[in-house]
Amino acid sequence: MLYVLHELVGDEAFYKIIIEVLNSFKDEEIEFKDFEEIANRVSGHNLKKFFNEWIYGVELSSYLYEGYDIKQILDNII
């Protein structure tokens, strides 16, 4: 899941997301909705479809096991 998010938002945004998450939740547990909010805000993208399919659903995660190329996976998200 993180690999696909990284490919979707790019290096700079991905690392900013991770740093923001670590700084904001260093002393408490994080929920997926918190991670999603940070990822949306920091990346400047609406990642609802990504989170619905990769976190809250199971459809696209099977692509990784079936050997799909990352570009094919991203085409289904965008």
10-33 average pLDDT score: 95
Q: Which pLDDT score is estimated for 49? A: 86
The ranges assigned to domains in the chain are 2-77
52/29 Cα distance (integer angstroms): 21
d(Cα 39, Cα 32) in Å, to the nearest integer?
10
Decide: 4 and 49 in contact? Cβ < 8 Å.
no
Kindly report, residue by residue over 38-69, the tens digit of the pLDDT: 999 999 999 998 888 878 776 655 666 566 67
Pseudo-torsion of CA 34, 40, 46, 49, nearest 10°?
Answer: -40
Tokens of 27: 């002393």
* pLDDT mean over 18-35: 95
Cβ contact 42:17 at 8 Å: yes
Q: What pLDDT does 56 receive?
A: 77
